[in-house]
Amino acid sequence: MSRVGVLVLGPAGAGKSTFCNSIISHMQTIGRRAHIVNLDPAAEATQYEFTIDIRDLISLDDVMEELHLGPNGSLIYCFEYLMNNLDWLEEELGDYNDEYLIFDCPGQIELYTHIPVLPAIARHLQTQLNFSLCATYLLEAPFVIDSSKFFSGALSAMSAMILLELPHINILSKIDQIKDDYSKKKLKRYLNPDPTLLLDSTNETWNPRFQKLNKTIANLVDDFGMVQFLPLEAKNPESVATILSYIDDVTQWAEGQEPKEPKEQTEIEDM
């Protein structure tokens, strides 16, 4: 049997740590067990303790202080250090066989959209440590309501998908912050994807060349199947349950794999 690993990715402030906590809390409620692996060397305390914490290996502050690097350079240094000390991660993960591990990743998306360091770690987890992995990529709903921002967010998610080569789930977080009718209508386009609607939304711009570029990007995003997003409202267990069921599906988590009490059947309805 393999163990499941869920990489939680997305820009700073997208709601990654809150999502990790919501999943753990939901899983506990339904009698399942999961652990958070903190891969952010600059993380702050969250609701649930980290079972495994990169800061036990290396911390961003120490690197900045000792090597006189800036925050981004230090972060890359920390990940390269982790890459060179994978036996530490292997040892930490050793006790957690047949379990669900949620990897809270840093918000500096270049770690998985531009440079191959996180993808290399993911490959090690898959090939050497027998993990069934999936990536979740969070974008803030209030941010992507503007079509051009939606495309830039979708392209960053696509870049992570291509680099990581993992089953990939896009999530629009903080949908409870979408309150006015116009924004709710726009949000629906992203949750119930229809490429024609997506192309229509590029008509907002008056410059024909910009419009042509937007259409090309919209087609590219559509071709990669990147238009689909699942809605997340961290405090709403139904939305967390739906996302968890997608994660179970793509990682092929089997009921029989549960280490503790059997999972109760939950009603999962689309939002």
Ligand X SMILES: Nc1nc2c(ncn2[C@@H]2O[C@H](COP(=O)(O)OP(=O)(O)OP(=O)(O)O)[C@@H](O)[C@H]2O)c(=O)[nH]1
Residues forming a β-bridge with 136: 8, 169
Min CB(156)–ligand X separation in Å: 14
Unique residue bearing structure tokens 């949750």 = 191
Record the tokens describing residue 235, joined without a space: 């405090």
Q: How many residues bind ligand X (CB under 6 A)?
A: 16
Please pick, from the candidates 4, 7, 14, 117, the single residue that binds ligand X as defined by CB under 6 A.
14
Q: Please identify, using beta-carbon distances, which residue of 110 and 176 lies nearer to ligand X.
A: 176
Please pick, from the candidates 53, 99, 233, 248, the single residue that binds ligand X as defined by CB under 6 A.
233
Footprint of ligand X on residues 90-119 (CB under 6 A)?
107
Separation between Cα atoms, residue 38 and residue 57, nearest integer Å: 11
Min CB(87)–ligand X separation in Å: 27
Separation between Cα atoms, residue 79 and residue 82, nearest integer Å: 5
Please pick, from the candidates 5, 15, 41, 153, the single residue that binds ligand X as defined by CB under 6 A.
15
Q: Please identify, using beta-carbon distances, which residue of 122 and 232 lies nearer to ligand X.
A: 232
Query: Taking the alpha carbons of 126, 127, 128, 129 in that order, is the dihedral positive or negative?
Result: positive
Query: Taking the alpha carbons of 248, 113, 158, 188 in that order, is the dihedral positive or negative?
Result: positive
Q: Please identify, using beta-carbon distances, which residue of 1 and 12 lies nearer to ligand X.
A: 12
Min CB(8)–ligand X separation in Å: 8
Footprint of ligand X on residues 141-200 (CB under 6 A)?
173-174, 176-177
The Cα-based distances of 69 to 51, 78, 114, 115 in angstroms read 28, 11, 20, 18
Q: Please identify, using beta-carbon distances, which residue of 122 and 234 lies nearer to ligand X.
A: 234
Q: Which stretch binds ligand X (CB under 6 A): 59-67, 93-101, 229-237, 253-261?
A: 229-237
Q: Work out whether 54 is an interface residue with ligand X (CB under 6 A).
A: no
Q: What is the helix (H) or strand (E) element at residue 140, kind and residue range?
A: strand 131-140
DSSP code, position 265 = P
Single-letter amino acid code for the residue at 234:
A
Contact residues toward ligand X (CB under 6 A) are 10, 12-18, 107, 173-174, 176-177, 232-234
